[in-house]
Amino acid sequence: MSVMDYRTRDGLADYGFSIEFDADTGWQVYIVFEPLYEGDRSGPNLPHQAIDHRGRRYIDWPSKVENLGEARTIAALWAELIHHYLHIQRGRGAMRK
C-alpha cells in the first residue's frame, strides 16, 4: 500500500489516495479524501469513480493498472480532472441564480 497526497497545479485543492495492489486486479487507487466545496454534494456522483464491495470509493480506470508509477499518475490526473469538473459545475450554478 502506498499513501499519496496530491495538491492541484493551481494550489487550490488537496486530495488523498491509498494505492493498493491486488494480484487479480492490479493496482487500485482509492480516494481517501478530497476538498469539501461549499454547497457541493456531488462526492459520490463524481465522474470516473466507483465503490467497491467494502464501500470504498476508487478511481474507475478502464484498464488494468500495471505499476505503482502508473497508479500515481492516474491519481494526479483524476484529481486535476475532478478539480476542473467541480469548478465548471460551480460556475454553471452561479449562472443559474
**Dihedral (Cα; 92, 75, 60, 57), 10-degree rounding:** -80
* Domain carrying residue 76: 2-96
The pLDDT of residue 40: 52
Mean pLDDT per 10-residue segment, the chain (97 residues)? 92 95 92 73 69 92 94 96 83 52
Provide the whole-model pTM: 0.81
Residue 75: CB atoms within 10 Å: 23
The pLDDT of residue 86: 81
Total structural domains in the chain? 1
Q: Which residues pair with 16 in a beta bridge?
A: 5, 33
Helices within the chain (DSSP H only): 68-96
Strand, helix or coil for residue 95: helix
